[in-house]
């Protein structure tokens, strides 16, 4: 049986409290739907960009954003796969128990159309320095999931159990490819299974990119210290606390803007107008030549009417004239 050791230090408690506060703020503070969607999209773009970067896949953040929005040329298969894997977490988390096969499914989703089917979701067959031998992987994965589905694991705070599960995937590196990303989504899957949601508004992968050496050192320490996860818990919760702090600051600013918008009658916008606002938040400006990309099935006159309505409400401003006009957020 797998029995992890750890101490819930004052640092861990402080970090968890910060995350709990951020969850409460995101649940109770009301902001405009367009801004809520924007926060989720920003988190998704940052998440996929960071995961791809961790895996050594050089796709720019702008390309990730355009691929998610289905703008411009062809979509990148890597972005399609990672977005699909992230979106599958909610459905997988509804299961009564999370099993080894669920992680295989996530890993398989990452590699769809990128690797031969025999390699998708497959455990590695090659030895890796500092990691268990291939023949030991299954023997260590089975007790890990037995522990996760036990009462012992369920009595922990969700962030504690999620951190331990993600650490084990990093320590074992069980798959042929994309172990870092599989570990990251394992963290999400555990939280989802507990009903402990962060609303798709937070990602900590960018934090781990900037702390890569500390992450690797912490993983190596676990086995050396008789499977004590205390330092790892401090590291993960610190990363999450720093990211949720940034989220709270954003939400508070948007809450103020939302109150102003409601007070001035600017809050009522149509779905197309919300799409215009989102586009301007992403790309800064909108020009006539962009209309067919943003609204492929809508006439130019209709888009111009929506823009005029947003200008009359003081949300959008126009720069220049005629066909060279540029539209920006006011």
The model's confidence at residue 296, banded by pLDDT at 50, 70 and 90, is confident
Helices (H), 93-150: 100-111, 134-148
Name which residue leads in pLDDT, 33 or 63. Answer: 63
pLDDT at 73: 62
Asked if 40 and 176 sit in the same domain, the reply is yes
Same domain as 238, residue 175: yes
Query: Is 262 a member of any domain?
Result: no
Range(s) of the domain holding residue 312: 271-329
Lowest average pLDDT, out of 158-172, 189-203, 245-259, 307-321, goes to 245-259
Planar angle of CA 161, 169, 206, nearest 5 degrees:
85
Strands (E), 129-243: none
All residues at 6 or more sequence positions from 139 whose CB lies less than 8 Å from its CB, including other chains:
none
Which residues does residue 328 pair with via DSSP β-bridges, in sequence order?
317
Give the burial string for 75-85 (b: 16+ CB within 10 Å, else e): bbebbbbbbeb
Q: How many domains does the chain have?
A: 2
Decide: 193 and 98 in contact? Cβ < 8 Å. yes
Q: Is the pLDDT of residue 259 over 70?
A: no
Q: Does the structure show a pLDDT above 80 at 55?
A: yes
Task: Tell me how far apart the alpha carbons of residues 262 and 276 are, in angstroms, rounded to a whole number.
Answer: 19
3-state secondary structure of 287: strand
- Percent of the chain at pLDDT > 70 equals 94
Of residues 162 and 31, the one with the higher pLDDT is 162
How long a stretch of residues is the chain? 330
40-54, 67-81, 240-254: segment of lowest average pLDDT: 67-81
Q: What is the mean pLDDT of residues 204-228?
A: 89
Instruction: Evaluate whether residue 263 is within a structural domain.
Output: no
Within a domain: residue 70?
yes
Confidence of residue 258 (pLDDT cuts 50, 70, 90): low
Ranking 129-143, 149-163, 193-207, 234-248 by mean pLDDT, the lowest is 193-207
User: 124: how many CB neighbours lie within 10 A of its CB?
Assistant: 19
22 is a domain residue: yes
Helix (H) or strand (E) holding 93: none
The domain that holds 36 is classified in CATH as 1.10.3290.10
Mean pLDDT along residues 137-144: 95
Q: How far is CA 163 from CA 4, 148, 302, in A?
A: 11, 11, 50
- Provide mean pLDDT across the span 226-231: 95
Average pLDDT over residues 287-294: 86
Q: Is the pLDDT of residue 261 over 60?
A: no
| 283 plus 219 within the same structural domain | no
> In whole angstroms, what is the distance from residue 99 CA to residue 190 CA?
11
Is residue 119 left, alpha or beta, with left meaning phi > 0 and alpha meaning psi from -120 to 50? alpha
Higher pLDDT, 310 or 314: 310
| Over residues 155-175, mean pLDDT | 96
Are both 246 and 279 inside the same structural domain?
A: no
Segment 265-279 mean pLDDT: 75
Let me know: does 102 contact 88? Beta carbons within 8 Å.
no
Q: Which two tokens stand for residue 115?
A: 């690797």
Q: pLDDT band at residue 183, thresholds of 50, 70 and 90?
A: very high
Q: What is the largest CA-CA distance in the chain?
A: 72
pLDDT at 291: 87
Q: What value does the mean pLDDT take over residues 137-147?
A: 95
**Given 221, 254, 287, which residue is the final one in a domain?**
254
Same domain, 159 and 307: no
> Is residue 190 located within the same domain as residue 305?
no
User: Given this model, what pLDDT does residue 314 score?
Assistant: 77
What pLDDT is stored for residue 263 in this prediction? 45
260 pLDDT exceeds 80?
A: no
- Statement to judge: residues 66 and 204 lie in one domain: yes
Is the pLDDT assigned to residue 266 strictly greater than 80?
no
Name, in order, each residue with C-beta under 8 angstroms of 203's C-beta and a sequence gap of 6 or more: 43, 46, 47, 50, 243
């Amino acid at each position: 049986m797998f029995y992890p050791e750890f101490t819930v230090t004052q640092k861990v408690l402080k970090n968890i409290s910060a995350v709990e506060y951020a969850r409460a703020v995101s649940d109770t503070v009301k902001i405009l739907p367009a801004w809520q969607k924007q926060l989720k999209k920003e988190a998704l773009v940052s998440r996929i960009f960071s995961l791809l970067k961790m895996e050594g896949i050089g796709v720019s953040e702008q390309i990730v954003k355009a691929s998610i929005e289905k703008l411009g040329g062809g979509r990148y298969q890597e972005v399609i796969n990672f977005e699909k894997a992230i979106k599958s977490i909610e459905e997988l988390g509804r299961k009564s128990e999370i099993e080894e096969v669920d992680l295989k499914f996530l890993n398989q989703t990452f590699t769809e159309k990128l690797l031969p089917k025999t390699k998708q979701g497959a455990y590695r067959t090659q030895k890796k320095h500092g990691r268990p031998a291939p023949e030991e992987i299954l023997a260590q994965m089975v007790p890990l999931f037995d522990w996760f589905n036990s009462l012992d694991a369920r009595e922990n705070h969700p962030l504690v159990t999620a951190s331990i599960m993600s650490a084990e995937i990093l320590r074992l590196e069980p798959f042929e490819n994309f172990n870092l990303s599989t570990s990251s989504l394992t963290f999400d899957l555990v939280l989802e299974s507990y009903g402990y949601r962060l609303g798709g508004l937070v990602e900590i992968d960018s934090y781990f990119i900037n702390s890569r050496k500390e992450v690797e050192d912490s993983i190596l320490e676990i086995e050396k210290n008789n499977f004590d996860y205390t330092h790892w818990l401090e590291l993960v919760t610190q990363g999450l606390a720093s990211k949720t702090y940034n989220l709270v600051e954003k939400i508070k600013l948007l809450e103020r803007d939302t109150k102003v918008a409601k007070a001035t009658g600017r809050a009522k916008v149509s779905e197309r107008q919300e799409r215009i606002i989102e586009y301007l938040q992403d790309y800064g400006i909108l020009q006539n030549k962009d209309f067919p990309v943003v609204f492929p099935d809508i006439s130019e006159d209709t888009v111009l009417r929506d823009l005029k309505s947003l200008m009359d409400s003081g949300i959008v401003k126009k720069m220049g004239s005629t066909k060279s006009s540029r539209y920006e957020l006011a």
